Amino acid sequence: MDAALAAKYERLLGIIRDMDRVLVAFSGGVDSTFLGRAAKDAVGDRAVLVTADSETYPASELDETRRLAELLGMRHLVVQTRELDNPQYALNSPNRCYFCKEELFAKLGPIAREHDDATMIYGANMDDLGDHRPGMDAAKAAGVRAPLIEAGIWKEEIRVVSRALGLATWDKPSFACLSSRFQYGDAITPEKLRRIDAAEVFVRSLGFRQFRVRHHDRLARLELPPEEMERLFEDGRRKAVVERFRELGYLYVTLDLQGFRSGSANEILKWIGKK
């Protein structure tokens, strides 16, 4: 990595060292894996990874966190969260993520106290400041810190430094909880979550890495990067997707011509704001 990025990483380590003991909210994504590695470099065994297991989190990702924690050589805890039990979350309003993070940090709080009042940290980065992120408000309310933002680190910088550090996640596709596949106002249920999870598992089995399946009642909207769209129409993939999605209960299956973009559910908020 270049000198500027090396300096940012050292700044990050210094911020974490000043905390002395940390509890890392660990999803196994690019950001939290990078933060976990930084925490280990900064404070060693005084850093602990904690992953939330819930209905909104694919089982495959939970397995991935265990694998990554082992590769990092860090202690890893798993806690159960029940955000769907909160009607304010299940109703899926635009501030849904607030209640998710509120539940997560409420479960992490006692663990942090058990670990000599460790500071809770999570992987929000500079890119997150430019989008609708109500979960960040929940983090502030719970006293959870975002060292990547404090160090001024952007998503692309995280990938570059992750690669230099040899982290397997440096090119991992962006991921968000399964609830992000639903349009605001569409109530979230365990059945819908299982359906969308199964749909994405199938698309992934066809060799696609970066994509989303968005749920619209009887319609499934598939987002693929534009450069990947042609592959959908090769080797029987289109037909296979349609058949599998119909088995899962979708009547219509569409390809979004705008392509994959993270956080597309927030586009309606921007559109309403311009009205």
CATH number of the domain that residue 36 is part of: 3.40.50.620
In a domain, 173, yes or no: no
At 39-94, the pLDDT tens digits run 999 999 999 999 999 888 887 888 999 999 999 999 999 999 998 889 988 999 88
| Shared domain check, 217 and 95 | no
Domain end residue (candidates: 141, 165, 189):
165
Q: What is the 3-state secondary structure (H, E, C) of 55-103?
A: CCCCHHHHHHHHHHHHHHCCCEEEEECCHHHCHHHHCCCCCHHHHHHHH
At 125-135, the pLDDT tens digits run 999 887 778 88
Q: Residue 75 is part of which domain span?
A: 3-165
| Shared domain check, 239 and 133 | no
The number of folded domains in the chain is 2
**pLDDT for res 271:** 43
In a domain, 137, yes or no: yes
CA-nearest of 235, 230, 236 to 255 is: 230
**Helix 30-43 to helix 155-165 angle, to the nearest 10 degrees?**
60
In a domain, 55, yes or no: yes
Inter-residue contact 197 to 208 (CB < 8 Å): no
Alpha-carbon span 119 to 147, nearest angstrom: 11
| Shared domain check, 155 and 37 | yes
Q: Residue 260 CB: number of other CB atoms within 10 A?
A: 19
| Shared domain check, 191 and 147 | no
Pairing of strands 252-255, 219-223: parallel
In a domain, 170, yes or no: no
| Shared domain check, 124 and 98 | yes
| Shared domain check, 93 and 187 | no
SS3 content of the chain, % helix, strand, coil (to 5): 55, 15, 30
| Shared domain check, 20 and 144 | yes
In a domain, 171, yes or no: no
Mean pLDDT of 255-269: 74
Q: Virtual CA dihedral for 145, 34, 178, 101, nearest 10 degrees?
A: -10
3-class secondary structure, 249: coil
Mean pLDDT of 217-223: 96
| Shared domain check, 198 and 69 | no
| Shared domain check, 187 and 161 | no
| Shared domain check, 39 and 150 | yes
Pairing of strands 219-223, 212-216: antiparallel
